[in-house]
Structure formats: C-alpha cells, structure tokens
Structure 1
Amino acid sequence: MTVTLTPREQFRTARLYLCTDSRAATGDFEAFVDSVFAAGVDVIQLREKGLEAGAEIALLEVLRAAALRHGRLFAVNDRADVAAAVDAPILHLGQDDLPVPVARRLLGSDVVIGRSTHSPQQFDAAMAESGVDYVCAGPTWTTPTKPGRPAAGVELLEHAAGHSRARPWFAIGGIDLQRLPTVVAAGATRVVVVRAITEAADPAAATREILRHLPAVS
C-alpha cells in the first residue's frame, strides 16, 4: 500500500532548499530544475523580482511539473495570489510581505508557509507566530541576492539552534560548500542555497556534495 504524504509531512524532512531565478541567460530552466530535483534538492523556490504575474505563473507551471515528476516540493516567493494560481504547496513570506493570517485566508490550511527572519527577536517572533510552518534565519553572510542587507552572522544560527524545537528552520545567506561546515557546527541541519548550485559548473554534482555534508533530519 502506497502512503501519500501531505506537503507539510513531506516538508518536515527537507534539508536542502534552493532559490533560483528563471535562468533566462542560459535558457535551461526546465532542464536545470529537473537535474537538481533528481540529485536530491527537496524544495525549489522561483525567486526573480520584477516578473509580471503571467510570466511567473508560466515558469511556476514548469517547476510544478518537474516537482511532481520527482516527488519534490516547490515554493512561491511573496505572492499568495500567484501561489493560489499554480496550486503551490509552499509560500514564502518576508518580514514586510502579506501578513500570514491573510495568506492563510487566501490559501487555506494545507499550504506550508515560511517566514524570513534577520535577528534573534524576529526569529523568536516567527517561531511563535500562528500559521507559520518554517523559519529562515539569515543572511549568515552578505549576499548579492539581498543587496543592502547586513549579515546576521553565525550568532543568529547559534541562537536558532538553541531556542528552536517546534518548527523546522533553515540557515540562509551566502552558504556554499566551503562555509557549510561552519553552518553545521553552529547547529543548522537545513540550508537554503542559491549560487552554490545555480552557478556551479555541474549543479547536480554540487547538490549531491552539499547533501553529503548535511546531517540527517527526522
């Protein structure tokens, strides 16, 4: 008998969460997401500021089909309306995005909702916030994907590891294979990466190597 997990149940064991743009420069979005899903990425979020809703939905339909083929998850950044349009299993919200209760009213109780945090105070508030399923802590290091945002440092990860038990949390921000041991030593077991995979010569090999250095989660 095959047991089908809900997105929330499947998400509980996710370790590697990838954010990628549309890869317009290389024109290989579908092939790229297929390859990294096959290599073990648990979640892919399309994150590209400035896309019109129609263009974003078209890309997300490609991502959704790949996620279904591989039994993985995909996420929408910021926009609950777009998440509803593509039946996304995950919506990720920043500190200044749509309030979580409003997103819940639009999407219902089954969609996994995440929250970005940049300080111990924000992290603790998100962990206690009704309707939030997971929390991202960072950026650990400065990163061009978040221009102007100062690094929160490894100290935020140590705080998260020492104060979090109820919900999954992910380290984020400038994390690559060289920095991964520092992140794991600080207590993180789950990471969000961007350039470590998107700019790798072999994205699938980079995925496998990152996963090899991440602890198992249950």
Structure 2
Amino acid sequence: MDNALPSAASAGAPAAPRRRASQDEAGRRRRAALAAARLYVCVDLSRDLPDLLAFADAAFRGGVDILQVRDKSAESRAEVEALRALRPVADAHGALLAANDRADVAVLAGVDVLHLGQGDLTTADARALVGSEVLVGRSTRTEEQMHEAASDPGIDYFCTGPVWATPTKPDRAPVGLDLPRAAARAEAEPAGAGEDPAASKPFFAIGGIDLARVPEVLAVGAQRIVVVRAVAEAADPEAAARALRDALTAEA
C-alpha cells in the first residue's frame, strides 16, 4: 500500500480555483450593491478614529450605500489604518467601502472600491494592482471623459462634476447640470447591435449637492449622488443621510 502523502503541489492545487471563485463572488456581490446604490459619501480624516467610526455607523444607518475616505493631506498609513477600522462597520451595514486615488491603499485595506481621478492610474494599471473583483470608478468633467469612462470595460461607474462650486474641489470650475444630463441621456439610449442592454454603467452626480439641490439633479435624469459636506458636516449625519436618501427615492 502506498502511504505517501500528497505532494505540496498536488495538495495545494485546488487553492487557486477556490480563490478565483471567491474573488468572482466578491466582484458579483459588489457590482450588485453598486447597481442598487443611490447615496455615496466622502469623508476626510480630520476626525479621530473613534469619531470616524461613529460617524460612519450613523451615516450607514441613514442609508449611505458607499463611503469613501478621501483626504489628500493624509499619509498613506493613516488611510490604510482608517479603512481597515471602517471595514467591519461597512460590512455590518452591507455597504461598500472606497479608497481614493491609491491602488496600494485599496489593496492593503481590503476595500470594495477604488476611485480614480483623470490624472491617476490608467484603468489597466489600476486593474493590474487591485484585480477584477474590486470596483473601479472614474471622475469625469467633460462629455469626452464621460463617454470614455462609460465605454471603458474596466470602469464600473463614473462621476460627473463638480456640478456646482464646492470648497472640496476649489481648483475645479463647476460644469453645471449639462454633464449629468448628457450622462443620463446616454444611459437611456437603446443598446447598439451586439451590446448588452443591461450593461449601462451607474453614474453619480457630484459637487456642491445638498438636500435643496437634489430635485434639480433628479430633474436632469441623474439618480445617484456623491456628497461630502451635506453629510460629513451635518450635526446629525444619520438624519442628513436619511433625508437625502428619501429625496432620491421619493419618486422611485
């Protein structure tokens, strides 16, 4: 009788398929959550960690679907630590967690989403680092950029803006409502020959949006928004998030 133990290679052979299956499942789960998302909030690291976790818990209770840590002045170590601490909070609410700009931070922190600006990594380079299971978003400021993002197979969603002037992007002139209007029009166009009609990408209007401006955003066909101050600077983040979500879904 051959009592030899299986070799290390043969014993570990199933690991790669299992890992790929797990990654594929994570990607499907994240993309399903993105498809249903309406409210996306960005927060900086000006709070201490306990306050940040309390804020996130309140924002998720109010209906935030995606929370992004975006702080251009923060050291990468601080971003990784904050995102790792936020991971179980997001998981408890079934929400998505996002990193901004840095693919290395996204990988180390185990986030769901990497958001990129126009001057950040190319989609191919970002995918080489984060893999296929992490969602990738892209900021757009022109119709050309918007169409590029919409047609890029490696991009999962894009943002259009800033719609209105915002102190979080002081160097960016507002683009107005024409860009989200064009994105909504493109999203509503029938699919061409050979295209999947269900494959249209979610887009989010961003920049200077608050509760009073939600009706204007909805009127041009945008159904999803990104906000910063409207929730991050609210005295009651849970109530602020709930009011925004109610406004977004009132006519759904």
TM-score by length of 2: 0.82
Moved segments of 4+, more than 4 Å: none
TM-aligned CA deviation for residue 13 of structure 1: 0.5
**Is 1:54 equivalent to 2:88 in the alignment?**
no
Does residue 184 in structure 1 map to residue 212 in structure 2? Answer: no
Per-residue deviation at 1:119?
1.1
Q: Spell out, residue by residue over 1:133-173, the C-alpha distance to the aligned partner (whole angstroms, 9 max, x if none).
A: 00100000010100110001011111111112510000000
Q: 2:241 aligns with which of 201, 207, 214?
A: 207
Deviation at residue 216 of structure 1 after TM alignment:
7.5
1:66 matched to which residue of 2? Answer: 89
Listed one character per residue, the Cα deviations across residues 26-62 of structure 1 (whole Å, up to 9, x for unaligned) are 9611100011111110000000012111111111112
1:121 is matched with 144
Count of aligned pairs between the two proteins: 216
CA distance 1:13–1:203, change in 2 (3 Å):
same
Once the two structures are superposed, what CA deviation does each residue of 1:47-101 show, in whole Å capped at 9, x if it has no partner?
0012111111111112112101111111000000110001111000000001110
CA distance in 1, matches of 2:80, 2:217: 34
The share of aligned pairs that are identical, in percent, is: 48
Distance in 1 separating the partners of 2:61 and 2:229: 18
Q: Tell me which residue corresponds to 1:174.
A: 208
Between the aligned partners of 1:134 and 1:217, the Cα distance in structure 2 is: 23
SS of equivalent residue, structure 1 residue 179: helix
Alpha-carbon distance in 1 for matches of 2:42, 2:251? 21
Q: What 5-or-longer segments of structure 2 have no aligned partner?
A: 1-24, 189-199
Residues 87-98 of structure 1 correspond to what in structure 2 (within 5 A)? 87-98=110-121
Task: Map residues 138-149 of structure 1 onto 2, 5 A cutoff.
Answer: 138-149=161-172
- In structure 2, the residue matched to 1:108 is 131
Q: Whose helix proportion is higher, 1 or 2?
A: 2
Shift, 1:23, TM fit: 3.3
- Pair 1:79-2:113 in alignment: no
After TM superposition, the score normalised by the length of structure 1 is 0.94
User: What's the secondary structure of 2:67's corresponding residue?
Assistant: strand
Q: Is the 8 Å Cα contact of residues 113 and 134 (structure 1) preserved in structure 2?
A: yes
2:60 to 26, 34, 37: 37
